[in-house]
Structure 1
Amino acid sequence: MKSAAGVPAPRRIGGATALAGVIGWPVAHSRSPLMHNFWLAQYGIDGAYVPLPVRPGAFETAVRGLQAAGFRGTNVTIPHKEAAFRIVDRLDRSARRSGSVNTLVFASDGMIEGFSTDGEGFVANVQAHGIAVKDGRALLLGAGGAARAIAASLLDRGVAVVLANRTPARAEELARALREDAAPAVEVVAWDDMATVLSRCDMLVNTTSLGMEGGPPGDFPLDLAAADPALVVCDIVYVPRQTPLLRDAAAHGLRCVDGLGMLIHQARLGFCKWFGTDPVIGPEVEALLDADLRGQGR
């Protein structure tokens, strides 16, 4: 809409505008605001979705303040997913299974509801690439909140999981938690020994921040030349979209799944609960996000 002078009219935000956002530290890299505000405009919804940089240690204070200020809820990203799990009043099964929360809903009865959409978002993204997620074995790198959610969703579909993490105690802790939930098909392998199991895996999933722009330095101790040619390599990092791991996999002729689709698919539940509309995931939103990443030189 344009004003009489031909200048774009400012977006009107009023007392009835539905508010949500994403909490993280840092959070400037997140493309969630771009995606959610695209959907809000697409469906003509009076709403706004904003980035919320919250330092570690201030998470609960920030959440209580947002709830008191009338927000509908928030997404939660690094490093707060496990902190979110601890403060919610009602946990969805997805969150109980994963031990972490990435979506908060401030319910009308004053309760905070917690969901984990990372696992189902990951599976939906892999399936959207024409890859079946059923049975087999996956080597999962990392043991944080996203790893917990993805491992739970894979196990639910009969996929055995092998965990590797640079801090072995974290991997062992996650394996115990998953086994307690009637999921015995979980192994742990040392970070430097993960190559020994790669040849018997159908899928490799990176849930660490290795390869992320601004993330920690270091390489994966993996020679993908030894992988089965049918191996599917997935990286949940999406900045950059083509991570070093995916470039290496492509160079070896392996099928690759990047993290941008997971970002889109995991966002549906929160958007639906906060704004009352289940968005259709079409090519437009992926093209928008991809263009933004390319425009930033990423």
Structure 2
Amino acid sequence: MTVPYAEVIGDPIAQSKSPAIHNFWLGELGIEGRYAHCLVKLEELADYLDRRRADVHWRGCNVTMPHKLAIVSLLDRLDPLAARIGAVNTVVRETDGTLTGYNTDAPGFLEPVREEVDKIHLFRMARVLGTGGAARAIVAALADAKFVIVLAGRDPAKAQAMLDELAPNGEHHAIAFDHFADPTDFPFDDRERCLDLIVNASPLGMTGQPPLPFDFSHAPPRSVVYDIVTSPLDTDFLQRARAAGFETVDGLSMLIGQAAIAFTHFFGAEAPREHDDALRALIQS
């Protein structure tokens, strides 16, 4: 008997931890279903969706690099948040065969820092490195959380355009990606009751990619350093951050947070988050 299934698509895709996450939850809840990964090249994306659209057992897919932007024009409708961000990481097949795009990256990104974000601060600033599809969701989430955003991109004009589009209300700044590579002697003021995030939203530091060029003299005291890369989980960026005395958040935190929302879309049940510690141990074993 064919069971309901979902999958994650991208290129490359073998390194994805999403199947382990969703299949763990399916097992914990005793739901008959499966979740896999599927290599889909950019030129194959439209054909892939046409085939899956006709499959009544297919509940949808998560979308990773390099398809988060390209898939938007191939869908029948977008959730309002996904429409605003202009990037989709979750596609759901409706019962009539139409495809709806969602962006669960934005709430997934904020989940591990939500407790701190919910506090009252005198000032909030986030330094975000990268201007790809994941960065779009992160910028939108940070703007909604009232951060001043410094967005670093290889093309500062592209970074500025992203800020103008996604965070038009606020005194945000676009700079060159290599701005943070060299040391600075900038005298940061007392950061009590301030919240600073340093976010790697780029693929740098991922397996097979060069390390992220960031000098921690650019990080104010008590900054939280956040890397969305999941392979490896403990990146050089995070290791150097801890060595410099900063609190860190790894990419698995965001991945689990966004996956939980997608899981409900796919399988109609809440993810059993009380088992997060066991899930982390499984993925890192």
TM-score, scaled relative to structure 1: 0.85
Say if 2:51 is the partner of 1:65: yes
List gaps (5 residues or longer) in structure 1: 1-13
CA distance in 1, matches of 2:225, 2:36: 32
Residues 219, 199 of structure 1: alpha-carbon distance in 2 compared, 3 angstrom cutoff:
farther
Give the alignment's Cα RMSD to 1 decimal. Answer: 2.1
Q: How far 1:226 moved relative to its partner?
A: 4.7
Aligned to 1:223: 215
Say if 2:132 is the partner of 1:132: no
CA distance in 2, matches of 1:34, 1:119: 21
Say if 2:79 is the partner of 1:96: no
Residues 55, 198 of structure 1: alpha-carbon distance in 2 compared, 3 angstrom cutoff:
farther
CA distance in 1, matches of 2:88, 2:69: 6
The amino acid across from 2:279 in the alignment is L
Q: 71, 74, 92: which one pairs with 2:61?
A: 74
Q: How far 1:34 moved relative to its partner?
A: 0.9
Aligned to 1:191: 177
CA distance in 2, matches of 1:174, 1:198: 29
1:202 alignment partner, SS class: strand
Aligned to 1:237: 229
Q: How far 1:89 moved relative to its partner?
A: 1.5
CA distance in 2, matches of 1:247, 1:285: 22
Q: How far 1:131 moved relative to its partner?
A: 2.8
The amino acid across from 2:87 in the alignment is S
Q: How far 1:50 moved relative to its partner?
A: 0.9
CA distance in 2, matches of 1:115, 1:99: 10
1:162 alignment partner, SS class: strand
List gaps (5 residues or longer) in structure 2: 190-194
Identity of aligned residues (%): 40
The amino acid across from 2:132 in the alignment is G
> Which deviates further from its counterpart, 162-171 or 46-55?
162-171
Residues 218, 280 of structure 1: alpha-carbon distance in 2 compared, 3 angstrom cutoff:
closer
CA distance in 2, matches of 1:199, 1:150: 24
Q: How far 1:288 moved relative to its partner?
A: 3.2
Aligned to 2:192: none
Q: Do 1:261 and 1:286's aligned partners in 2 also have CA atoms closer than 8 Å? A: no
| Structure 1 residue runs of 4 or more that deviate by more than 2 Å after TM superposition | 130-135, 167-170, 182-186, 192-201, 284-293
Q: How far 1:287 moved relative to its partner?
A: 3.4
Q: 41, 45, 53: which one pairs with 1:55?
A: 41
Q: How many correspondences in the alignment?
A: 273
Aligned to 1:270: 262
1:136 alignment partner, SS class: strand
Q: Do 2:53 and 2:98's aligned partners in 1 also have CA atoms closer than 8 Å? A: no
Q: How far 1:273 moved relative to its partner?
A: 1.4
Aligned to 1:117: 104
Say if 2:283 is the partner of 1:288: no
